[in-house]
């Protein structure tokens, strides 16, 4: 009973110990011009931040304006043991947003939505006073992370980039809203878990270019969940079919 009581007192600390993990999933890393996507593509991708993900993404073009994608990878979330991350989303192009403007042929815009889920575990410990002495208890804690997001996407080509830097170069940017839910469950103690939810803003900027048989990307992301928020570096290499 002493162990369960002490473990229950840890519930809030278990969540706060890993709270505000970086938003899960990979960087966008490509154009908003869904019309010119190939039918299918696969990508090796990495995200480096408080939540680092190493894995891949597959994308399927469902129509001229709509594409769907799925992600999977190994999740390294703060100081937890290595876990798994998976999820996906969809992007819908807005082909008429810049119609009639002087940038109609260069700027492309879309909206996208995503859902990602990650699981990880860790051994945690805490001290408590049982009335006679200070004791330490150790527990196995299972963590889960759920993120939902929606954002606008814009992209364009950099004029004369190939002449200046030797490769064709394009840019992308995103801005939107993110929701994060973090949960912790303690083994052998059904009442010792807890959860927290957060809302915040997210944004990203990056570059992509055709290099060899595929397309490489490099980007930087920021989300405002927690203080001072989280920054992540993203990169990928995509092959289309």
Lowest mean pLDDT among 61-65, 187-191, 213-217, 237-241: 187-191
Quickly list DSSP for the chain: -HHHHHHHHTHHHHHHTTTTPPPPS----S-S-GGG--SEEEEEEEEESSEEEEEEEEEEE-SSSEEEEEEEEEEEETTSPPEEEEEEEEEEE-TTTTTTSTTTTT-EEEEEEEEEEEEEEEEEEEEEE-SSSEEEEEEEEEEEEEEEEEEEEEEEE-TTHHHHHSS--EEEEEEEEEEEEEEEEETTEEEEEEEEEEEEEEEEEEEEEEETTEEEEEEEEEE-SSSS-EEEEEEEEEEE-
pLDDT reading at 135 higher than 50: yes
Segment 163-183 shows an average pLDDT of 93
Segment 119-135 shows an average pLDDT of 74
> How remote is the C-alpha of 230 from its chain's centroid?
11
Which residues touch 116 (CB under 8 Å, ≥6 apart)?
Answer: 23, 24, 25, 71, 85, 86, 87, 88, 145, 146, 147
Q: What is the CA radius of gyration of the chain?
A: 21
pLDDT reading at 136 higher than 90: no
pTM: predicted TM-score of the whole model, two decimal places = 0.85
2-240, CATH topology level: Lipocalin (2.40.128)
pLDDT tens figures, 29-43: 999 999 999 999 999
Domain positions in the chain are 2-240
User: How far is residue 92 from each of residues 31, 170, 186, measured CA to CA in Å?
Assistant: 12, 19, 40
Calculate what percentage of the chain has a pLDDT beyond 70: 82
């Amino acid at each position: 009973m002493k162990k369960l009581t002490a473990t229950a007192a840890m519930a809030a600390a278990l969540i706060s110990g890993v709270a505000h993990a970086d938003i899960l999933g990979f960087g966008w890393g490509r154009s908003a011009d869904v019309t010119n996507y190939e039918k299918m593509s696969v990508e090796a991708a990495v995200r480096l931040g408080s939540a680092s993900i190493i894995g891949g993404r597959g994308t399927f073009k469902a129509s001229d304006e709509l594409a769907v994608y799925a992600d999977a990878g190994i999740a390294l979330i703060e100081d937890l043991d290595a876990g798994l991350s998976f999820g996906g989303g969809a992007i819908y192009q807005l082909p008429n947003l810049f119609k009639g403007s002087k940038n109609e042929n260069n700027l492309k815009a879309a909206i996208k939505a995503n859902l990602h889920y990650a699981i990880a575990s860790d051994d945690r410990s805490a001290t408590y006073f049982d009335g006679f002495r200070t004791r330490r208890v150790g527990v196995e804690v299972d963590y889960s992370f759920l993120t939902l997001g929606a954002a606008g996407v814009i992209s364009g080509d950099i004029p004369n980039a190939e002449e200046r830097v030797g490769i064709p170069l394009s840019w992308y940017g995103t801005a939107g809203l993110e929701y994060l839910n973090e949960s912790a469950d303690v083994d052998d103690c059904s009442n010792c878990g807890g959860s927290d939810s957060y809302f915040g803003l997210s944004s990203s900027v990056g570059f992509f270019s055709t290099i060899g048989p595929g397309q490489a990307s490099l980007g930087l992301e920021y989300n405002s969940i927690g203080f001072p928020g989280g920054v992540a570096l993203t990169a990928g290499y995509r092959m289309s079919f």
